[in-house]
Homo-oligomer: A and B are copies of this chain.
Amino acid sequence: MKEENSTAVITAKTDGLKLVIGFLIFPEQDQIDFTGPFEVLSRLPEVSTHVISKTTDPVRDIKGLILTPEMTIADSPLLDVLVVSGGLGQQNLMDDHEVLSLIRNQFDSGRYLFSVCTGALLCGAAGILKGRKATTHWAAWDLLKYYGADALKSRFVVDGNYISSAGITAGIDGALALAAILSGEEVAKEIQLDMEYDPAPPFDSGTPDKASRVTVDEFYRQYGINKESRLSDAEQYAERHGILIK
């Protein structure tokens, strides 16, 4: 398996029988940050999945898709894995004590924490990225250093019990790597075959290195104010945690 760091800690299953996996969802997230890893991890043998949010009210993703949680954070059991989505709505949670505590407690317990896209910034706000290898969406990648992370330009990164993936669709790749850690490579390969995950995009425009200048410029034109808002958050966190930006 190709990964940055294979020193993952294999933790005991929380209930001894099933893997218990929680997916944190929130308004204005990017839905496939959640549904991509769900597709992979829900196929693990002997797994139970929980869709978790601050309340059990349905939320809409950034493009309006209704996502329905079935458990509150307060009711969440011990989780073998917590999956943290990203997307623009992540910015509204950067000071949310309940969400940040959930993330920090998961990480501190030694069980797996998996961030997708800018879910990594929530992990940063929770204070766990300092000195840790991490990645995130390419457009937010330069913010990781404000949270003290050792930022890597990888599709996904495994550093101990923290796994992070790059933007949006990278959650599928990271989830397959995590599936192998949890249940072995053979299981992960069976899941890949079942999902017919043999990607063949019709274009080669998935990173700023590969996309044309015109395409990248158009991205930034639309990204606009979100870039400033995320930078402002990052600067505040760097100051709060005494992280020096070079």
A residues neighboring B (CB under 8 Å) = 1-3, 30-32, 35-36, 38-39, 42-43, 49, 51, 58, 63-68, 70, 117, 137-138, 155-156, 166-170, 172-173, 176-177, 180, 185-186, 188-190, 192-203, 205-208, 210-212, 214-216, 218-219, 222
A36: which of B32, B186, B201, B211 is its contact (CB, 8 Å)? B32
- A189 to B68: give the CA distance in the assembly, Å: 30
Contact residues in B for A67 (Cβ distance below 8 Å): 66
Residue pair A206, B196 in contact (C-beta under 8 Å)? yes
Residue pair B190, A206 in contact (C-beta under 8 Å)? no
Contact residues in B for A190 (Cβ distance below 8 Å): 205, 215, 218-219
| Known contacts A1-B202, A35-B35, A180-B202; 4 further A-B pairs (Cβ under 8 A) | A32-B32, A172-B199, A176-B203, A199-B201
Candidate in A170, A173, A215 with the most chain B CB atoms within 10 angstroms: A215
Contact residues in B for A2 (Cβ distance below 8 Å): 200, 202
Contact residues in B for A176 (Cβ distance below 8 Å): 201-203
Smallest CB gap from A154: residue in B: B200
Candidate in A49, A67, A189, A218 with the most chain B CB atoms within 10 angstroms: A189
Residue pair B215, A206 in contact (C-beta under 8 Å)? no
Oligomer copy total? 2
A211: which of B39, B70, B189 is its contact (CB, 8 Å)? B189
Contact residues in B for A186 (Cβ distance below 8 Å): 214-215, 218
Contact residues in B for A214 (Cβ distance below 8 Å): 186
Rounded to whole Å, the gap between the CB of A129 and the closest CB of chain B is 19
A192: which of B177, B205, B222 is its contact (CB, 8 Å)? B205
Known: A32-B36, A219-B193. A199 touches B202 (CB 8 A): no
Residue pair B167, A196 in contact (C-beta under 8 Å)? yes
Residue pair A42, B70 in contact (C-beta under 8 Å)? no
- A196 to B36: give the CA distance in the assembly, Å: 13
- A195 to B165: give the CA distance in the assembly, Å: 12
A199: which of B32, B169, B177 is its contact (CB, 8 Å)? B169
Contact residues in B for A202 (Cβ distance below 8 Å): 1-3, 156, 173, 176-177, 180, 188
- A117 to B1: give the CA distance in the assembly, Å: 27
Smallest CB gap from A31: residue in B: B35
Contact residues in B for A32 (Cβ distance below 8 Å): 32, 35-36, 39, 195
Residue pair A192, B206 in contact (C-beta under 8 Å)? yes
